[in-house]
Amino acid sequence: MDSNLYKYILGIADNCLILGQRLGELCGHGPSLETDIACTNISLDLLGQVRSYYQYAAKVAGDNRTEDTIAMLRSEREYVNVLLVEQPNKDFGYTIARQFLFDVYHYLFLNELQKSNDETLEAIAKKSFKEVSNHLRFSSDWVKRLGDGTEESKQKMHEAFNDLWKYTNELFHLTDADHEMIKQGIGVDSRTFKNRYFKIISEIFEEAKLEVPDVKYFQKGGKQGIHTEHYGYLLAELQYMQRAYPNMQW
C-alpha cells in the first residue's frame, strides 16, 4: 500500500465527509424551503464526492477496507479533516460563514487538483469542480445578503467570521503526506493560492460591508487527528448505524 497516497486521499475526503454531515444535520431546519433544499443538496454533493475518494482509498489500501468502513469505523484520532468543517451549526449565519470559508478553499484546491498526475484524483476533481463552483456561488451570495442586510444579520455574520477565522490558516498547513504527493506531482501545494484565497474573501467582504477579522493566533490540529470537543458527538451520530449493526450493507 502507498501509505502517503492513502493518507493524502483521506486528507481531502474527510473534509467533505464532516462538512456534509454538518449540513445534513440541518435537513428540515433551514430558514426557508428553498434554502433548506439547497443546503441538503450541497451535503449530498459532498457525500457523493466522498464516495469517490473513499472507494479509491480502499483500492489503494488493497486489504479488506471498504468505503463504508473507512467512512464509518475509524476512531476520532484517525480522521484528519481541518477543524473548520467540524464546527457546529450555531445559527444560519454561522453555517453560511463556515461554508463560505471552506468553499473558497475547496474551489481553488479542486482547480489545481485537476492538474494531478494521478488520473483518478484528476477525474474526481474535474467531476466535482462544477458542483463546488455552485457551492461557492451560493455561500458568497448569502454572505453578501446577510452582511449587507439588517443590523441583526450583519452582527451575526461579524460574530461568525470572528469566531471561525482562527481556523482558516490550517487549510494551508501541509502534512508529510502532502509534501510527498506534491513532490510526485500528485498533490496540490495549497500555499501557492493562499494569497488568492484571502483576496477572494476580502473582495466578498467588501461587497458585504463586512470587515476582515483581526486575528493574530490560529488553531490547527485536525490534520493530525486532534479535534475539538464537538467531534465525539458528531461521530456518535455519523457512525451509529454501522456501530449498532456491524457489517451491515445497504
Q: What is the pLDDT of residues 190-226, one digit of tens each?
A: 999 999 999 999 999 999 999 999 988 999 999 999 9
User: What pLDDT score was predicted for residue 195?
Assistant: 97
| Residue 210 CA: distances (Å) to CA of 64, 96, 97, 239 | 50, 14, 12, 38
Phi and psi (nearest 5°) for 172? -110, 10
The angle, 0 to 180 degrees and rounded to 10, between the axes of the packed helices 194-208 and 119-147 is 30
pLDDT digit string, tens, across residues 141-154:
999 999 999 999 99
> Nearest-CA neighbor of 47 among 63, 31, 64, 25?
25
Give CA–CA dist 101/188, Å, rounded.
Answer: 18
> Nearest-CA neighbor of 144 among 201, 214, 213, 91?
201
User: What pLDDT score was predicted for residue 53?
Assistant: 98
Please tell me whether the overall predicted TM-score, pTM, comes out greater than 0.85 for this model: yes
Mean residue pLDDT of the chain comes to 94
Domains of the chain: 3-244 (1.20.1260.10)
User: What pLDDT score was predicted for residue 117?
Assistant: 97
